[in-house]
Structure 1
Protein backbone atom coordinates (compact mmCIF):
# COMPACT_ATOMS: atom_id res chain seq x y z
CA UNK A 1 0.00 0.00 0.00
CA UNK A 2 1.34 3.41 -0.93
CA UNK A 3 1.75 5.79 2.02
CA UNK A 4 -0.06 9.08 1.42
CA UNK A 5 1.09 12.52 2.42
CA UNK A 6 0.05 13.66 5.87
CA UNK A 7 0.17 16.61 8.25
CA UNK A 8 0.50 16.61 12.02
CA UNK A 9 -1.17 19.64 13.59
CA UNK A 10 -1.42 20.11 17.35
CA UNK A 11 -2.19 22.47 20.22
CA UNK A 12 -0.06 21.88 23.30
CA UNK A 13 -0.41 24.13 26.31
CA UNK A 14 2.10 22.35 28.56
CA UNK A 15 4.05 20.21 26.08
CA UNK A 16 2.11 16.99 26.67
CA UNK A 17 0.35 16.86 23.31
CA UNK A 18 3.60 17.82 21.54
CA UNK A 19 5.17 14.65 23.02
CA UNK A 20 2.42 12.63 21.36
CA UNK A 21 2.88 14.54 18.09
CA UNK A 22 6.63 13.86 18.18
CA UNK A 23 5.95 10.16 18.73
CA UNK A 24 3.56 10.00 15.77
CA UNK A 25 6.09 11.84 13.59
CA UNK A 26 8.78 9.30 14.56
CA UNK A 27 6.56 6.48 13.30
CA UNK A 28 5.75 7.94 9.86
CA UNK A 29 7.85 8.48 6.70
CA UNK A 30 9.38 11.97 6.90
CA UNK A 31 9.28 12.46 3.12
CA UNK A 32 5.47 12.23 3.15
CA UNK A 33 5.01 14.96 5.79
CA UNK A 34 3.48 18.16 4.38
CA UNK A 35 3.35 19.95 7.75
CA UNK A 36 4.36 19.30 11.35
CA UNK A 37 3.66 21.94 13.94
CA UNK A 38 1.35 24.11 15.92
CA UNK A 39 -2.24 24.70 14.95
CA UNK A 40 -2.28 27.98 13.04
CA UNK A 41 -5.92 27.50 12.01
CA UNK A 42 -4.94 26.88 8.39
CA UNK A 43 -6.49 23.84 6.78
CA UNK A 44 -3.57 21.61 5.72
CA UNK A 45 -3.47 20.43 2.10
CA UNK A 46 -2.94 16.79 3.13
CA UNK A 47 -5.89 14.45 2.99
CA UNK A 48 -4.54 12.56 6.04
CA UNK A 49 -4.40 14.64 9.21
CA UNK A 50 -3.13 13.81 12.68
CA UNK A 51 -4.74 16.40 14.93
CA UNK A 52 -3.70 16.81 18.54
CA UNK A 53 -5.34 18.74 21.34
CA UNK A 54 -5.26 19.42 25.03
CA UNK A 55 -8.46 19.03 27.02
CA UNK A 56 -10.31 22.09 28.22
CA UNK A 57 -13.48 21.53 30.26
CA UNK A 58 -14.12 18.07 28.81
CA UNK A 59 -13.51 18.99 25.16
CA UNK A 60 -10.62 19.89 22.86
CA UNK A 61 -9.16 23.36 23.22
CA UNK A 62 -11.00 26.07 21.26
CA UNK A 63 -8.30 26.44 18.59
CA UNK A 64 -8.51 22.73 17.75
CA UNK A 65 -12.31 22.79 17.69
CA UNK A 66 -12.18 25.74 15.29
CA UNK A 67 -9.79 23.90 12.94
CA UNK A 68 -11.81 20.68 13.09
CA UNK A 69 -14.99 22.54 12.16
CA UNK A 70 -13.31 23.77 8.92
CA UNK A 71 -12.25 20.34 7.66
CA UNK A 72 -13.99 18.61 4.77
CA UNK A 73 -13.26 15.24 3.12
CA UNK A 74 -10.22 14.45 5.28
CA UNK A 75 -9.00 11.32 7.04
CA UNK A 76 -8.42 12.27 10.67
CA UNK A 77 -6.49 10.64 13.47
CA UNK A 78 -7.32 12.42 16.74
CA UNK A 79 -4.91 12.45 19.67
CA UNK A 80 -5.02 14.32 22.92
CA UNK A 81 -4.10 14.65 26.55
CA UNK A 82 -6.20 15.33 29.63
CA UNK A 83 -5.02 16.22 33.12
CA UNK A 84 -7.82 14.22 34.67
CA UNK A 85 -6.93 10.91 33.15
CA UNK A 86 -6.53 7.28 33.86
CA UNK A 87 -10.02 6.36 32.73
CA UNK A 88 -10.80 5.11 29.22
CA UNK A 89 -14.45 5.99 29.86
CA UNK A 90 -13.48 9.62 30.50
CA UNK A 91 -11.24 9.69 27.42
CA UNK A 92 -14.03 8.26 25.24
CA UNK A 93 -16.39 10.93 26.56
CA UNK A 94 -13.92 13.66 25.59
CA UNK A 95 -13.36 12.15 22.14
CA UNK A 96 -17.14 11.98 21.68
CA UNK A 97 -17.38 15.71 22.43
CA UNK A 98 -14.53 16.49 20.03
CA UNK A 99 -16.09 14.46 17.21
CA UNK A 100 -19.22 16.62 17.37
CA UNK A 101 -17.16 19.42 15.79
CA UNK A 102 -16.13 17.27 12.81
CA UNK A 103 -18.12 17.41 9.57
CA UNK A 104 -19.60 14.08 8.43
CA UNK A 105 -17.63 14.27 5.15
CA UNK A 106 -14.50 13.41 7.16
CA UNK A 107 -13.49 9.92 8.30
CA UNK A 108 -12.00 9.28 11.74
CA UNK A 109 -9.29 6.67 11.12
CA UNK A 110 -8.01 6.47 14.69
CA UNK A 111 -7.89 8.09 18.08
CA UNK A 112 -5.67 8.10 21.15
CA UNK A 113 -5.76 9.86 24.49
CA UNK A 114 -3.71 9.70 27.64
CA UNK A 115 -3.21 11.63 30.83
CA UNK A 116 -0.96 14.69 30.81
CA UNK A 117 0.61 16.79 33.50
CA UNK A 118 -1.10 20.03 34.50
CA UNK A 119 0.41 23.41 35.37
CA UNK A 120 1.53 23.80 39.02
CA UNK A 121 -1.02 26.61 39.38
CA UNK A 122 -3.77 23.98 39.37
CA UNK A 123 -2.35 22.21 42.44
CA UNK A 124 -1.72 25.56 44.15
CA UNK A 125 -5.39 26.45 43.62
CA UNK A 126 -6.50 23.14 45.18
CA UNK A 127 -4.27 23.71 48.23
CA UNK A 128 -5.63 27.22 48.66
CA UNK A 129 -9.20 25.89 48.43
CA UNK A 130 -8.45 23.45 51.27
CA UNK A 131 -7.88 26.42 53.60
CA UNK A 132 -11.60 27.15 53.36
CA UNK A 133 -13.47 25.09 55.99
CA UNK A 134 -16.30 24.51 53.51
CA UNK A 135 -14.07 23.24 50.70
CA UNK A 136 -15.28 20.61 48.22
CA UNK A 137 -15.08 17.08 49.62
CA UNK A 138 -13.15 15.75 46.62
CA UNK A 139 -10.11 18.06 46.93
CA UNK A 140 -7.81 15.32 48.22
CA UNK A 141 -8.75 13.17 45.21
CA UNK A 142 -8.03 16.08 42.86
CA UNK A 143 -4.63 16.68 44.48
CA UNK A 144 -3.78 12.97 44.23
CA UNK A 145 -4.78 13.00 40.53
CA UNK A 146 -2.61 16.08 39.95
CA UNK A 147 0.39 14.36 41.54
CA UNK A 148 -0.22 11.19 39.50
CA UNK A 149 -0.43 13.21 36.28
CA UNK A 150 3.02 14.77 36.77
CA UNK A 151 4.79 11.89 35.00
CA UNK A 152 2.44 11.77 32.00
CA UNK A 153 2.63 11.24 29.14
CA UNK A 154 5.15 8.61 30.23
CA UNK A 155 6.98 5.90 28.28
CA UNK A 156 4.06 3.50 28.74
CA UNK A 157 1.68 6.08 27.19
CA UNK A 158 4.03 6.64 24.26
CA UNK A 159 4.56 2.91 23.68
CA UNK A 160 0.79 2.39 23.64
CA UNK A 161 0.51 5.11 20.98
CA UNK A 162 3.30 3.51 18.92
CA UNK A 163 1.53 0.13 19.01
CA UNK A 164 -1.69 1.78 17.87
CA UNK A 165 0.16 3.49 15.01
CA UNK A 166 1.58 0.15 13.78
CA UNK A 167 -1.88 -1.38 13.29
Structure 2
Protein backbone atom coordinates (compact mmCIF):
# COMPACT_ATOMS: atom_id res chain seq x y z
CA UNK A 1 0.00 0.00 0.00
CA UNK A 2 3.06 2.28 -0.01
CA UNK A 3 1.82 4.42 -2.92
CA UNK A 4 -1.91 4.22 -2.29
CA UNK A 5 -3.61 7.23 -0.75
CA UNK A 6 -6.03 6.70 2.10
CA UNK A 7 -8.48 8.57 4.29
CA UNK A 8 -9.92 7.71 7.68
CA UNK A 9 -13.54 8.77 8.19
CA UNK A 10 -15.39 7.90 11.36
CA UNK A 11 -18.53 8.54 13.34
CA UNK A 12 -18.13 8.31 17.11
CA UNK A 13 -20.90 9.05 19.58
CA UNK A 14 -18.99 8.26 22.80
CA UNK A 15 -15.34 8.35 21.65
CA UNK A 16 -14.91 4.59 21.22
CA UNK A 17 -14.72 4.57 17.42
CA UNK A 18 -12.49 7.64 17.50
CA UNK A 19 -9.98 5.59 19.54
CA UNK A 20 -9.94 2.97 16.79
CA UNK A 21 -9.54 5.64 14.11
CA UNK A 22 -6.59 7.14 15.98
CA UNK A 23 -4.94 3.70 16.21
CA UNK A 24 -5.33 3.19 12.46
CA UNK A 25 -3.84 6.63 11.83
CA UNK A 26 -0.90 5.77 14.11
CA UNK A 27 -0.16 2.55 12.18
CA UNK A 28 -0.53 3.76 8.58
CA UNK A 29 2.11 5.89 6.79
CA UNK A 30 1.24 9.50 7.58
CA UNK A 31 2.53 10.81 4.25
CA UNK A 32 -0.17 8.84 2.36
CA UNK A 33 -3.08 10.24 4.39
CA UNK A 34 -5.46 12.56 2.52
CA UNK A 35 -7.90 13.09 5.38
CA UNK A 36 -8.61 12.14 8.98
CA UNK A 37 -11.86 13.12 10.66
CA UNK A 38 -15.61 12.90 10.84
CA UNK A 39 -16.56 14.27 7.44
CA UNK A 40 -14.68 15.48 4.43
CA UNK A 41 -15.24 15.58 0.69
CA UNK A 42 -11.47 15.40 0.09
CA UNK A 43 -11.46 11.94 1.65
CA UNK A 44 -13.58 10.55 -1.14
CA UNK A 45 -10.73 10.94 -3.66
CA UNK A 46 -8.50 8.50 -1.74
CA UNK A 47 -7.70 5.01 -3.04
CA UNK A 48 -8.67 3.42 0.29
CA UNK A 49 -11.28 4.56 2.79
CA UNK A 50 -11.12 3.42 6.40
CA UNK A 51 -14.68 3.96 7.60
CA UNK A 52 -15.58 3.76 11.28
CA UNK A 53 -18.99 3.59 12.89
CA UNK A 54 -20.80 3.13 16.17
CA UNK A 55 -23.52 0.52 16.35
CA UNK A 56 -27.13 1.67 16.37
CA UNK A 57 -29.72 -1.10 16.79
CA UNK A 58 -27.52 -3.78 15.23
CA UNK A 59 -26.25 -1.70 12.29
CA UNK A 60 -23.93 1.22 11.64
CA UNK A 61 -25.12 4.66 12.67
CA UNK A 62 -27.34 6.45 10.10
CA UNK A 63 -24.64 8.90 8.91
CA UNK A 64 -22.22 6.07 8.14
CA UNK A 65 -24.88 4.06 6.32
CA UNK A 66 -25.66 7.11 4.17
CA UNK A 67 -21.96 7.54 3.35
CA UNK A 68 -21.52 3.86 2.49
CA UNK A 69 -24.51 3.91 0.14
CA UNK A 70 -22.99 6.85 -1.76
CA UNK A 71 -19.58 5.27 -2.44
CA UNK A 72 -18.66 3.66 -5.76
CA UNK A 73 -15.51 1.83 -6.87
CA UNK A 74 -13.63 2.19 -3.58
CA UNK A 75 -11.53 -0.08 -1.40
CA UNK A 76 -13.07 0.05 2.06
CA UNK A 77 -11.92 -1.10 5.48
CA UNK A 78 -14.81 -1.12 7.96
CA UNK A 79 -14.25 -0.67 11.68
CA UNK A 80 -16.69 -0.17 14.49
CA UNK A 81 -17.67 -0.50 18.10
CA UNK A 82 -20.76 -1.91 19.79
CA UNK A 83 -21.80 -1.61 23.40
CA UNK A 84 -23.63 -4.92 23.36
CA UNK A 85 -22.47 -8.37 22.49
CA UNK A 86 -18.85 -8.81 23.34
CA UNK A 87 -18.93 -11.85 21.05
CA UNK A 88 -17.42 -12.33 17.60
CA UNK A 89 -20.72 -13.80 16.37
CA UNK A 90 -22.58 -10.58 17.23
CA UNK A 91 -19.86 -8.45 15.62
CA UNK A 92 -20.07 -10.52 12.42
CA UNK A 93 -23.85 -10.08 12.42
CA UNK A 94 -23.44 -6.29 12.68
CA UNK A 95 -20.75 -6.21 9.97
CA UNK A 96 -23.03 -8.27 7.73
CA UNK A 97 -25.80 -5.69 8.11
CA UNK A 98 -23.34 -2.82 7.48
CA UNK A 99 -22.02 -4.47 4.31
CA UNK A 100 -25.57 -4.58 2.93
CA UNK A 101 -25.21 -0.79 2.50
CA UNK A 102 -21.95 -1.07 0.54
CA UNK A 103 -22.44 -0.86 -3.23
CA UNK A 104 -21.20 -3.96 -5.07
CA UNK A 105 -18.74 -1.83 -7.09
CA UNK A 106 -16.72 -1.39 -3.88
CA UNK A 107 -14.32 -3.90 -2.32
CA UNK A 108 -14.42 -4.45 1.42
CA UNK A 109 -10.74 -5.18 2.01
CA UNK A 110 -10.94 -5.67 5.75
CA UNK A 111 -13.00 -5.23 8.89
CA UNK A 112 -12.70 -4.94 12.64
CA UNK A 113 -15.15 -4.61 15.51
CA UNK A 114 -14.87 -4.59 19.27
CA UNK A 115 -16.95 -3.73 22.28
CA UNK A 116 -17.19 -0.11 23.38
CA UNK A 117 -18.31 1.56 26.56
CA UNK A 118 -21.82 3.01 26.72
CA UNK A 119 -23.10 6.17 28.39
CA UNK A 120 -23.91 5.85 32.12
CA UNK A 121 -27.53 6.71 31.30
CA UNK A 122 -27.90 3.22 29.77
CA UNK A 123 -26.97 1.49 33.04
CA UNK A 124 -29.14 3.90 35.03
CA UNK A 125 -32.10 3.00 32.81
CA UNK A 126 -31.53 -0.74 33.41
CA UNK A 127 -31.35 -0.24 37.18
CA UNK A 128 -34.55 1.80 37.12
CA UNK A 129 -36.30 -0.86 35.02
CA UNK A 130 -35.20 -3.52 37.50
CA UNK A 131 -37.15 -1.72 40.28
CA UNK A 132 -40.43 -2.61 38.53
CA UNK A 133 -42.01 -5.87 39.66
CA UNK A 134 -42.60 -7.13 36.10
CA UNK A 135 -39.17 -6.26 34.67
CA UNK A 136 -37.46 -8.16 31.86
CA UNK A 137 -35.64 -11.25 33.13
CA UNK A 138 -32.36 -10.38 31.38
CA UNK A 139 -31.68 -7.05 33.13
CA UNK A 140 -28.91 -8.47 35.32
CA UNK A 141 -27.19 -9.77 32.19
CA UNK A 142 -27.54 -6.36 30.51
CA UNK A 143 -26.06 -4.62 33.56
CA UNK A 144 -23.14 -7.08 33.58
CA UNK A 145 -22.56 -6.45 29.88
CA UNK A 146 -22.57 -2.69 30.53
CA UNK A 147 -19.97 -3.13 33.27
CA UNK A 148 -17.76 -5.34 31.06
CA UNK A 149 -17.92 -2.76 28.27
CA UNK A 150 -16.60 0.07 30.47
CA UNK A 151 -12.95 -0.67 29.69
CA UNK A 152 -13.39 -1.01 25.92
CA UNK A 153 -11.87 -0.43 23.53
CA UNK A 154 -8.95 -1.59 25.66
CA UNK A 155 -5.27 -2.20 24.82
CA UNK A 156 -6.01 -5.75 23.69
CA UNK A 157 -8.65 -4.46 21.24
CA UNK A 158 -6.24 -1.82 19.93
CA UNK A 159 -3.44 -4.38 19.56
CA UNK A 160 -5.72 -6.69 17.56
CA UNK A 161 -6.70 -3.78 15.30
CA UNK A 162 -3.04 -2.85 14.78
CA UNK A 163 -2.20 -6.44 13.87
CA UNK A 164 -4.97 -6.51 11.24
CA UNK A 165 -3.92 -3.17 9.74
CA UNK A 166 -0.24 -4.20 9.61
CA UNK A 167 -1.18 -7.54 7.99
CA UNK A 168 -3.22 -5.68 5.35
CA UNK A 169 -0.27 -3.35 4.64
CA UNK A 170 1.81 -6.38 3.62
CA UNK A 171 -0.75 -7.54 1.04
Please give the range of the TM-score, normalised by the shorter of the 2 chains. Answer: over 0.9
State how many pairs are aligned: 167
Counterpart in the other structure of 1:128: 128
What's the Cα RMSD here? 1.3
Q: Show the 5 A alignment for 1:76-155.
A: 76-155=76-155
* CA-to-aligned-CA distance 1:15-66 (integer Å, 9 cap, x gap): 0000000000001111110110013578611120000000000000000000
Per the normalisation by structure 2, the TM-score is 0.94
Structure 1 unaligned regions, length at least 5: none
Tell me which stretches of 4 or more aligned residues in structure 1 moved more than 6 Å.
none
Other-structure match for 1:59: 59
Counterpart CA distance in 2 for 1:36 and 1:21 is 8
Q: Is the 8 A contact 2:81 2:115 kept in 1?
A: yes
Richer in helix (by share): 2
Distance 1:7 1:55, change over 3 A: same
| Residue in 1 that maps onto 2:11 | 11
TM-score, normalised with respect to structure 1: 0.97
Name the CA distance, whole Å, in 2 between partners of 1:123 and 1:23. 28
The residue number in structure 2 matching 1:35 is 35
| Partner Cα separation in structure 1 for residue 92 and residue 117 of structure 2 | 19
Counterpart Cα distance in 1 of 2:127 and 2:11? 28
Cα distance in structure 1, aligned partners of 2:131 and 2:41: 42
Instruction: Describe the SS at the equivalent of 1:133.
Output: coil
Check the 8 A contact 1:43/1:71 in 2, yes or no: no
The structural deviation recorded for 1:123 is 0.3
* 8 Å Cα contact 1:85-1:149 kept in structure 2: no
Contact 1:16 1:117 in 2 (8 A): yes
SS at match of 2:2: coil
Provide the rounded CA distance (Å) in 2 between the counterparts of 1:3 and 1:59. 32
Provide the rounded CA distance (Å) in 1 between the counterparts of 2:112 and 2:3: 21
SS in 2 for 1:2: coil
